[in-house]
Amino acid sequence: MNEVTPVLPSALFGPSDSSLIRDELLWEIFAASAGRVPHSEAITFAGQTLTYGEVAARAESVARALSARGIGRGCFVGLWMSRSLDLHVALLGILRAGAAYIPFDTDAPAERVAECLGDCGASALIVDAVTMGAISGAMPAEALALPALEAAAPSGDAPDLRALGASSADPAYAIYTSGSTGKPKAIVISHGNICHYLRSANSLYRITFDDVVFQGASVAFDLSLEEIFIPYLVGARLWVAGRQTMAEADRLPQVLTEAGITVLDTVPTLLGLLSADIASLRVIILGGEACPPALAERWCRPGRRLFNASGPTE
């Protein structure tokens, strides 16, 4: 039977299953899977793959380097990097240090990045060669290149976040919007809120360890939280799309088919641009805008589940 399920915020934040509400940190969701399936593939990008254990080890290194700089619980760290394996390592490293991350799209003007960093009193900004080259003036937070950060990591263990008082009420991330006045406005989301959302959402989506999940959204958009961390929750594999892949909608069906993508979480506009079906898809999650009934009907197949959902910030 074809199935189209509208997912309302009340369905995600008000389930009757109390086991979905836990005192947990976003990093702990990843760490649990890394401990359980360290040799399983976690992330694929541009033909390269890292296992859960490899990602965890690198994130620990980033966390030790940040902690050595006094960056941890109560701090905000900007994340301004191109799509890459390194981007995902840096994101997790910030969380492992106990800080909250502030993501920026690669194309964000340096002036806007600086304004947002100054607004939240960010302690640092992790960059790559592309974004470092875009910085032409002073930044309110030190720009740190990931390779140098990892190389400078001291030996030993990253701090025990729970021993330092970390709780689910702490900020996990902040996303800046334009605001009603045009001035950037931060929306800060706690670990408890996002972790509850992820568990509640997946109680409906039922993404599993065997899935290969397409990750196409910029980390500057809240859709990326669902794309990234529901797979981490269950030990599934992320398949991260590069900029060129996202720019060539006519080739996406072939690319996703060859990658064996089983879960696609995207906006209706992008789905509507795809010219052919992707036979491996078993779950399609749509959000960010209204889904035309004709589009849903076009993508329904026996055994495939299609959801019309709201995002975690909403």
Compute the half-sphere exposure of residue 54: CA atoms within 13 Å on the CB side of its CA.
13
Q: Within the chain, which residues score under 70 in pLDDT?
A: 1-16, 179-180, 310-314
Q: What is the pTM of this model?
A: 0.93
Q: What was the pLDDT predicted at 1? A: 36
The pLDDT tens digits for 211-245 are: 999 999 999 999 999 999 999 999 999 999 999 99
Classified as helix, coil or strand, 132 is helix
Domains and CATH numbers, the chain: 3-308 (3.40.50.12780)
Identify which of 33, 54, 89 has the alpha carbon closest to the alpha carbon of residue 209: 33
Position 80 scores a pLDDT of: 99
pLDDT reported for residue 16: 57
- CA neighbor of 271 nearest in space, from 44, 236, 256: 256
Per-state percent for the chain, helix, strand, coil, to nearest 5: 40, 20, 40
**Amino acid 8: pLDDT:** 46
